[in-house]
Structure 1
Amino acid sequence: MNTEEYITKLFVDAGWYKGRQIKSTSQTLDSPNKAHENALAVLTEFGGLNVGEVGAGREISASDVSFKSDAVNFGGMIGNCWQDIDVSLFAFASAHHDHMILLVDDNNCFYIFTDPDEQLYKIGNFEETMRRVLLGIDYGIALEKNR
């Protein structure tokens, strides 16, 4: 089984199916926000699923992913702590027993925030983010924090 088939199996085992759509409990924002819309798009398909498990991974620990039922304004919780981040960030899932937060920005780029050490990693698309988190593949270099 190749990597893509393995990850698809993890999602199917968690209850996902092609065409799945659920209604998010996320509240409508007063002003339109693209990051919020991007997070809601993820939640429409994956909201409420618990995918994968914590354990040995390829390079680092593999993680579980727990998709939420609502999108949370991550930037509103922590402010702008990182250099070169001039986009909104909304959380749509937690991972690794709630020690990580998965985020999406205005441009539909995905991030991983590791809670214990408060590092932020810019990953890319949804598929790559799931691959790295679920298989335990290194996230790369953390974004530099503001001083």
Structure 2
Amino acid sequence: MKERFPSEVEAMLREAGWYPGRSELPVELPNDYSIFPWARKALEEFGGLHVGSSGPGRDLARSNIQFEPDAAEGLAPHVSQTDDGLRLYPLGEIDNGHAHLLIDELGSVYYYFDELEKVGVTLDEALINLLLGMKAG
């Protein structure tokens, strides 16, 4: 059976307090977004965690992730949906608060700095890409 995460990523997640089956919602939710199932599932599993560190990665710089969705309070007027019209929900921040991390209604994950960039078709893929510094796609 294939492991969900590479061992290096799983170690970072466990060090931050994650464990398989984690299901709680220990974070404040932003008032200007409506939560949907993929966002709730992601925050129940990873909410409140601060994972990884910035630095050199495999293809580009690694990013740290802070799963604190209320950090996006006030972001909704600037980014609330994808170009395809899918609603977005903030998961937190990456790179020490330099960009926001968002998930769409189908489970794809993006970061927003100056524009919206997809970092994974799934949350697991996005975590691997961000934490190891790998190009999406």
Aligned to 1:8: 10
Aligned-residue RMSD, C-alpha:
3.0
5 Å-filtered alignment, 1:25-44, equals 25-26=28-29, 36-44=36-44
Give yes or no for the alignment of 1:120 onto 2:119: no
The secondary structure found in structure 1 opposite 2:54 is coil
Q: Residues of 1 paired with 2:116 and 2:101: CA distance?
A: 10
1:29-76 deviations in whole A, cap 9, x for unaligned? 99xx5x633212111111111100001111111010000155958873
Larger strand share, 1 or 2 = 1
Cα–Cα, structure 1 residues 81 and 36, in superposed 2: closer, same or farther, change >3 Å? closer
Q: Residues of 2 paired with 1:125 and 1:95: CA distance?
A: 17
**What amino acid maps onto 1:86 in structure 2?**
G
Cα–Cα, structure 1 residues 28 and 77, in superposed 2: closer, same or farther, change >3 Å? closer
After the TM superposition, list the runs of 4 or more consecutive aligned residues in structure 1 that deviate by more than 4 angstroms: 27-30, 69-75, 79-82
Aligned to 2:19: 17
* Structure number with larger C-alpha Rg: 1
The secondary structure found in structure 2 opposite 1:6 is helix
Q: How many residues align?
A: 132
Match of 1:131 among 125, 128, 132: 128
Q: Residues of 2 paired with 1:124 and 1:73: CA distance?
A: 25
Unaligned runs of 5+ in 2: none
Deviation at 1:10, TM superposition (A): 0.5
Q: Residues of 1 paired with 2:28 and 2:61: CA distance?
A: 31
Give yes or no for the alignment of 1:105 onto 2:86: no
TM-score relative to the length of structure 2 = 0.79
Q: Residues of 1 paired with 2:127 and 2:101: CA distance?
A: 10
Cα–Cα, structure 1 residues 77 and 46, in superposed 2: closer, same or farther, change >3 Å? same
Aligned to 2:47: 47
Unaligned runs of 5+ in 1: 141-147
The secondary structure found in structure 2 opposite 1:78 is coil
